[in-house]
Structure 1
Amino acid sequence: MPPLPDLSIVDAPLPYVPHLETRPLEQVDLVVIHCTELPDLAAAREYGERKLYPSGTGNSGHYYIDRDGSVRRYVPDDHIAHHVRGHNARAIGIELVNAGRYPHWLDSRRQAMDEAYPDVQIDALVALLHRLAAELPSLRHIAGHQDLDRGTVAASDDPSLQVRRKLDPGPRFPWPRVLAEVPLHRLTG
């Protein structure tokens, strides 16, 4: 096996990690790519710390990759994070800092996701995916959040219109590059 790319991961566990369910790592066969749809990493951390469920936990990915390529782990791999409906128990969630549709997530007139992903951020993602594939022998699949959550909701500007709940990582995410560089197969539903 070739050596793993250099990658520094800063552990920064969310306060509620002890309340998240654990799982055997053999159960993890999927990575889900998200974008934060928030202005910066600090806002994403603040959102991730919000307690939204009776268990005292909230919504968060496992890993966050900032625009400069720095990587933080908010949830250990053997814990189930809340990041994608119906797939959390089998998946690692990776959040890429990107504004997405911020702050008009559900406005039907503002569904474009125009921010590009910097090369250094994608380089860090590819390095992380290689590391996860080496450490998690069952890991075989990759998907975007929009591939797995196709639900719609009423638009915030016009409730008679429906918009997609999730569009991340969005049209600017370089799927061809990532898929060519990692040993994972894309799931689209």
Structure 2
Amino acid sequence: MKLSIFLSTTFRALPLAGSLLVNSCTAQESTFRIVDKPIVFDEERKQLSLEYLAQRHGIQQAEPFIKPKMIVLHWTAIPTLDATFDIFNPSVLPGRTELQSASRLNTSVPFVVDRDGTIFRLLPDTTFARHCIGLNYCAIGIENVGNNDLTEAQLKANIQLIRYLKSHYKDIEYLIGHYEYKDFIGTPLWKETDPNYLTGKTDPGKAFMQKVRTRLKDLNLKGSPAQTE
């Protein structure tokens, strides 16, 4: 499906910068680009997204978009970009019974960073995506291809992408790793209607998050509440 058709039929009100975006981040960071590689977002995925917002987050709205307050970093635990794309592309979740019980909506994120640091955009930046329990409604997800072996190129790309997102969405206050999501239980940001719907996560690793945070100190992004206790 061509991106222009993808946007005009499904995401008229959602921002996307074009088929290729070049952005200067800071004097210290080189220019970078985002390559659009859209996954399926058909009527079924739209309706499942709206149902998820209503049933899991208690939010009723007419379009599947978010007002981002947070960026969540992940790793795919899948070794290649193509395999990652194939997992996220269907509208309906394939398998994974532990997630099926909550919703048939497939997992996805707006951004995937390949091993060489290339950034691919699967969805417009502020499209609702299922990737982080309790926080999907306010979180932009970034997946990194791989596991506990993320590369220096991926580190650099994440830093550049986070700078881009913060410059475009001023209300973003938080930057967390997926493994930190449970720290928001009991805070005003947490919206999950089933207190027992939780999964264990370790991605993208504490060492990777520490490196990212060190390079982004100037943005003054908050971490999980546990970091301030």
Q: TM-score range by the shorter chain?
A: 0.7 to 0.9
Whether the 8 Å contact between 1:16 and 1:56 is mirrored in structure 2 is no
Partner of residue 169 from structure 1, selected from 204, 211, 224: 204
Residues 79-94 of structure 1 aligned to structure 2 (within 5 Å)? 79-94=127-142
Query: RCO (CA 8 Å, sep 6+): is it higher in 1 or 2?
Result: 1
**CA separation in 1, counterparts of 2:125 and 2:79?**
26
Question: For 1:1-189, what aligned pairs fall within 5 Å after superposition?
Answer: 3-4=24-25, 5-16=30-41, 19=46, 20=49, 21-23=63-65, 27-50=67-90, 51-52=92-93, 57-98=105-146, 100=147, 113=148, 115=149, 117-149=150-182, 165-173=200-208, 175-182=209-216, 183=219, 184-187=221-224
Q: CA deviation at 1:149?
A: 4.5
Aligned length: 156
Residues 146 and 17 (structure 1), Cα distance of their counterparts in 2 relative to 1, 3 Å cut:
farther
Shift of 1:23: 2.7
Kept in 2, the 8 Å contact 1:16–1:57? The answer is: no
Structure 2, gaps ≥5 residues long: 1-23, 50-62, 94-99, 184-198
Q: 1:170: Cα distance to partner?
A: 2.0
Question: Structure 1-normalised TM-score?
Answer: 0.74
Structure richer in helix, relative to its length = 2
- TM-score, normalised by the number of residues in structure 2: 0.62
Instruction: Report the Cα offset of residue 78 of structure 1.
Output: 2.2
CA distance in 2, matches of 1:72, 1:42: 11
Q: Which amino acid aligns with 1:169?
A: P
Residues 70-106 of structure 1: CA deviation (Å, up to 9, x unaligned): 00011112211000111001000000111x3xxxxxx
